[in-house]
Structure 1
Amino acid sequence: MDALSDLMRGVRAHGSLFGSTTLTPPWSLHFVDGAPLSLCTVVRGAGWIVPEDEPPVRLGAYDTLLVRGPGTFTFVDEVGTTAVPVECGVECATPEQGGTRHRLGWHDPGPPGGHGTRGDGSGATTLVVGAYPVHGEISRRLLQALPVVLRTPAGGSVDPVLDHLAAEVAVDAPGQQVVLDRLLDWVLVCTLREFFDRPGGRPPTWWAAQRDPVAGTALQLLHTEPAAPWTVAALAERCGVSRATLAKRFNDLVGEPPLTYLTRWRMTLAADLLLERPTATVAEVARAVGYADPFGFSAAFKRVRGLSPSGFRRTAASASPAADLHAAGTGSTGRAR
Structure 2
Amino acid sequence: MDITSELFRGVRAHGSLFGSSTLSPPWSLHFVDGPPLTLCTVLTGAGWILPDGHPPERLGAHDTVVVRGPSTFTFVDDPATTVEPLVCSEECSTPEQGGTRHRLGWHEPGEDDAAGGRTTLVVGAYPLSSEISGRLLDSLPVVLRVPAGGDGDPVLDHLAAEVARDEPGQQVVLDRLLDWMLVCTLRTWLDGPGRRPPAWWSAQKDPVVGETLRLLHAEPATPWTVAALARRSGVSRSTLAKRFTELLGEPPLTYLTHWRITLAADLLIEEPSATVASIARTVGYTDPFAFSVAFRRVRGTTPSTYRRTTGAR
With the length of structure 1 as denominator, give the TM-score of the two structures: 0.84
Match of 1:297 among 276, 288, 291: 291
Provide the aligned C-alpha RMSD in A: 2.1
Deviation at 1:275, TM superposition (A): 1.0
Check 1:168–1:103 CA distance in 2 against 1; reply closer, same or farther (3 A cut).
closer
SS at match of 2:82: coil
Structure-2 residue corresponding to 1:158: 152
Report if the CA contact (8 A) 2:28-2:85 is conserved. no
* Within-5 A mapping of 1:219-234: 219-234=213-228
Percent identity (aligned): 68
SS at match of 1:129: strand
Q: Larger C-alpha radius of gyration, 1 or 2?
A: 1
Mapped pair 1:212 → 2:232: no
Check 1:85–1:220 CA distance in 2 against 1; reply closer, same or farther (3 A cut).
closer
Structure-1 residue corresponding to 2:18: 17
Structure-2 residue corresponding to 1:240: 234
C-alpha offsets along residues 166-205 of structure 1, whole Å, 9 cap, x if unaligned? 1221222222221111111011111111111111101110
Structure-2 residue corresponding to 1:92: 94
Matched residues in 2 for 1:213 and 1:315: separation? 41
Structure-1 residue corresponding to 2:89: none
Check 1:85–1:235 CA distance in 2 against 1; reply closer, same or farther (3 A cut).
closer
C-alpha offsets along residues 30-74 of structure 1, whole Å, 9 cap, x if unaligned? 111111100000010000011111111111111111001112111
Query: Which residue identity does 2:74 align to in structure 1?
Result: T
* Within-5 A mapping of 1:115-194: 119=111, 121=113, 122=115, 123-194=117-188
Matched residues in 1 for 2:300 and 2:52: separation? 31
C-alpha offsets along residues 231-250 of structure 1, whole Å, 9 cap, x if unaligned? 00011111111101111111
* Within-5 A mapping of 1:47-126: 47-84=47-84, 92=94, 101=103, 119=111, 121=113, 122=115, 123-126=117-120
Structure-2 residue corresponding to 1:111: none
Structure-2 residue corresponding to 1:196: 190
Aligned residues: 299
Matched residues in 1 for 2:251 and 2:47: separation? 46
Matched residues in 2 for 1:19 and 1:38: separation? 14
Deviates further, 12-21 or 220-229:
12-21
Deviation at 1:20, TM superposition (A): 3.3
Matched residues in 2 for 1:294 and 1:17: separation? 43
Report if the CA contact (8 A) 1:210-1:219 is conserved. yes
Matched residues in 1 for 2:279 and 2:256: separation? 16
Report if the CA contact (8 A) 1:22-1:119 is conserved. no
Query: Which residue identity does 2:291 align to in structure 1?
Result: F
Matched residues in 1 for 2:268 and 2:75: separation? 39
Deviation at 1:119, TM superposition (A): 4.7
Query: Which residue identity does 1:80 align to in structure 2?
Result: A
Structure-2 residue corresponding to 1:96: none
Deviates further, 121-130 or 62-71:
121-130
Report if the CA contact (8 A) 1:91-1:103 is conserved. no
Report if the CA contact (8 A) 2:267-2:279 is conserved. yes
Matched residues in 1 for 2:55 and 2:264: separation? 38
* Within-5 A mapping of 1:28-47: 28-47=28-47
Structure-2 residue corresponding to 1:335: none
Check 1:226–1:40 CA distance in 2 against 1; reply closer, same or farther (3 A cut).
same
Check 1:139–1:100 CA distance in 2 against 1; reply closer, same or farther (3 A cut).
farther
Deviation at 1:102, TM superposition (A): 6.5
Query: Which residue identity does 1:237 align to in structure 2?
Result: R
Query: Which residue identity does 1:250 align to in structure 2?
Result: F
Report if the CA contact (8 A) 1:20-1:103 is conserved. no
Query: Which residue identity does 1:195 align to in structure 2?
Result: W
Structure-1 residue corresponding to 2:98: none
SS at match of 1:101: helix
Structure 2 unaligned regions, length at least 5: 87-91, 96-100
SS at match of 1:184: helix
